[in-house]
Structure 1
């Protein structure tokens, strides 16, 4: 495997920093709600950049490096999509206005990239010093795979971890947002806004995700340059991807099973590699074990295949269709009632809610019956209609178009 020169490292880091700065000054600095076309365009651009970079790695570094990069990138991208579920719950829990969510996500991405770079350097140092670390990484991934099989994404319950609890305890914030500002004045005193709290929550939660993703990519390649670039490119387009597929996230009902299979495969690959390089005294007397290792090409093919099957099965699932429709209606109702204050955008959200309710009514009777049993959802929708009528009567909303 060819070594990577210092010049290539500097140019790569400069390019990634440049993309982040471009993202901030062109898209995020001015708060706005990204439309589907904008999100689709920039997601495709970032994915294309990652693919072209991988082609360059393949051409200049050889097929082995190319396969390892693409296996790492696809795995990290898939794990990032799963992480979007948690981001969605966090942004909903903190009632972040839609137009301000871009800045929160970009901040989380920057914090995550810095933290993961530290984890990557630490992981590389551990691998170079202790061959047995592959056993630990493999165990982490196998345990994570098991947890994914039993993990449920609860629509009504926001994620909670030590980072969020500490932030809530020590950061004194105002009760209301002031645009996308981090500080505001309340009763003549300068205080933090909830925007900073949600940024800490997003960034801290993403750091916790790295405890799973970094061992996963080290299971596919031990080349630090490939680990760093695959991780970085999977994060760079995450903000655009969120706005592109947030309405489809709940449709991916089998994603956790697919990710469990992928992490389980990489975990086994790590353990087999650890056995092949074994120097642990109580395993085979400290001598390497003659086992078959999983080639990178096989890993790449299996990862892509599992993801394709997972996505296709999810999209064809009646359960996924019903779950998507119900979750979309629930989010729009919450956004209309609790988050948005701009009358024009509020009206747009309400029109979207009406369209989503039409989709609920178009579901098969079996799925509609299950949704009708969700008392909280039905009450939420009824409350949204009552509030809209009150706002129209008060002249605070536009009258919805009728067909």
Structure 2
């Protein structure tokens, strides 16, 4: 897809306007309702669909297919990242009315980091075609790791601060409570960070790890930096609202990690095949329409099986609770003294 500098500048400018609108709408700290989150999630998805249709009109079906495949993949990976966001919010006991501000900053940091990674990836790919072998191997390894994490229920573990975050806390010190949305305060004559700043740093630092997975994944679907950037941008822009919309649903998506591992493994194999093809080896390549259909199918099956498994587990827990209650009632009545004598 031939994208001129003017189109790049226009796209970035429009995204900046959308970010500004999103920021000013949610600038006042408040608890985000399901209705508000649902409306804005629908708006962001609609904007992504409109953009994809625009790509189809002006760029053709191939770039449009690459955008939708990339967008869906990045959106799916973002949902898995929300598990970590939930753990971070719980770890630092972030008040509900401040969570949207934390997520807004986290999304902006993620967008900046991914832009850097996208530019670096494009430069490397244009110079060294063999990097697809590395990307493919990394995604296959990530897929295997996701399966291992899912088997050990790693999402149920607590968030542990990384070494960088601990070093920053030691250097500046941390206040013992939140002070609104302030990031620094003066305490006993010393400038210290607030817990709000610590949470933002925690989410920002984890964004680096998220980018390591997502950028190779989308480069496995398209080599066009413009498609890579816009797919990431639209996937991230609705992440804040998605957090509040499906926060309670996350625990029910018990098979999501398995679905994502299949998708990442699939893209990893696709990258290896592409690298072999570029090296002159005659191997079949996986088309974008097939990739898009495969990704959608895996996510649909994963969602259905997750909800069924969650419902089955909930019914089993209810039955067990009812049985325990019946046993307690029976043992209680049996222990009553005989007053007929």
Counterpart-to-counterpart distance in 2, 1:147 and 1:242 = 24
How far 1:24 sits from its partner (Å)? 1.2
Assess, with a 3 A threshold, how the Cα gap between structure 1 residues 368 and 53 changes in structure 2: closer, same or farther: farther
Residues 226-241 of structure 1 aligned to structure 2 (within 5 Å)? 226-241=227-242
Which shows bigger deviation, 303-312 or 163-172?
A: 163-172
Instruction: Identify which of 364, 371, 395 aligns with 2:318.
Output: 364
Assess, with a 3 A threshold, how the Cα gap between structure 1 residues 369 and 103 changes in structure 2: closer, same or farther: farther
Q: Could you tell me which residue of structure 2 aligns to residue 42 of structure 1?
A: 40
Q: Could you tell me which residue of structure 2 aligns to residue 106 of structure 1?
A: 104
How far 1:25 sits from its partner (Å)? 1.2
Q: Per-residue CA shift, 1:152-185, capped at 9, x if unaligned?
A: 3343511443443333333421111111111223
Q: Could you tell me which residue of structure 2 aligns to residue 305 of structure 1?
A: 297
Q: Could you tell me which residue of structure 2 aligns to residue 127 of structure 1?
A: 125
Q: Per-residue CA shift, 1:35-62, capped at 9, x if unaligned?
A: 1100000010011101110111111110
Higher relative contact order (CA 8 A, sep 6+): 2
Q: Per-residue CA shift, 1:83-109, capped at 9, x if unaligned?
A: 000000001101111100111111111
Q: Could you tell me which residue of structure 2 aligns to residue 215 of structure 1?
A: 216
How far 1:192 sits from its partner (Å)? 1.6
How far 1:368 sits from its partner (Å)? 7.4
Q: Could you tell me which residue of structure 1 aligns to residue 283 of structure 2?
A: 291
How many residues align structurally? 321
Provide structure 1 residue ranges, at least 5 long, that are not aligned to the other structure.
279-287, 323-359, 371-403
**SS of match in other structure, 2:174:** coil
Q: Could you tell me which residue of structure 2 aligns to residue 244 of structure 1?
A: 245
Counterpart-to-counterpart distance in 2, 1:367 and 1:274 = 55
Residues 372-391 of structure 1 aligned to structure 2 (within 5 Å)? none
TM-score w.r.t. the length of structure 2 is 0.90
Provide structure 2 residue ranges, at least 5 long, that are not aligned to the other structure.
325-341
Counterpart-to-counterpart distance in 1, 2:303 and 2:272 = 28
Counterpart-to-counterpart distance in 2, 1:111 and 1:199 = 9
Instruction: Identify which of 308, 313, 319 aligns with 1:316.
Output: 308
Q: Per-residue CA shift, 1:264-308, capped at 9, x if unaligned?
A: 000000000000011xxxxxxxxx110000001100000000000
Assess, with a 3 A threshold, how the Cα gap between structure 1 residues 7 and 213 changes in structure 2: closer, same or farther: same
How far 1:215 sits from its partner (Å)? 0.1
